[in-house]
Amino acid sequence: MPKKKKKEIKGKLGTPDVKNNTQIRQDSISTILEKGVDFTIKIQKENILHKYKFIPSERKFTIYPIKMGTLLKISEILLDLNTDELIETMKSNGKEINLLDLGAKNIIANKDKLISMIAYGIVNSEREPSKNLIKFLNENLTAKEGLKLMTLIIQQMDVNPFLASLVSIKGMNLLRTRKEVIPGELSVG
């Protein structure tokens, strides 16, 4: 194809727009979040049934966009986390930090809450997650997997639309009542 013809075609198609590419990426991320994201947890202590492939050696979960009831439950647990000492330590500049001691205290104080938030994110329901799921997560979830899962759950919580709807409702002043005046009647008030 001659160069002149190529230039004509390029001119008609236009050059890719950076803003357009960003929008495409955001749309694809939104699509992924709407459909759910798969996550696999490997079973840490395999028994003979796992070795002979009678039962799977990993479990696959799908994290879907978080529903309002689940959002409430996870938010309640988030507000109940005991992270004051951790935050204070992070703010202290130049002081020596005993990370092992700090980590151990926070694991003791918050591990069950973290497992509970992850379990709520997996079942995505207001009802209590099953004891079997919590036991499975407790026995098989690594700290690294826990971080990945919590990051994923927080992304799936996507509180921006909820906050936008609150702002929208507040702007409407729905709570304010107006007195209706019927033409021809005397209004007292």
* Residue 115 token pair: 């497992």
Q: Each residue of 117-143: b (16+ CB within 10 Å) or e? A: bbbbbbbbeeeebeeebbebbeeebee
Neighbouring residues of 150: CB distance < 8 A, sequence distance ≥ 6: 114, 117, 118, 121
What are the pLDDT digits (tens) for 37-86? 888 888 888 778 778 878 888 889 988 889 999 999 999 998 888 777 77
Question: Would you state the pLDDT for residue 128?
Answer: 93
Angle, CA of 35, 169 and 66, to the nearest 5°:
20
CA dihedral 155, 161, 162, 168 (to 10 degrees): 160
Cite the DSSP H helix spans in 97-172: 99-123, 131-140, 143-157, 160-172
pTM of the model as a whole: 0.66
pLDDT along the chain (189 residues), means of 10: 56 50 61 74 80 83 90 90 76 73 82 94 92 93 90 85 78 57 55
Question: Would you state the pLDDT for residue 130?
Answer: 94
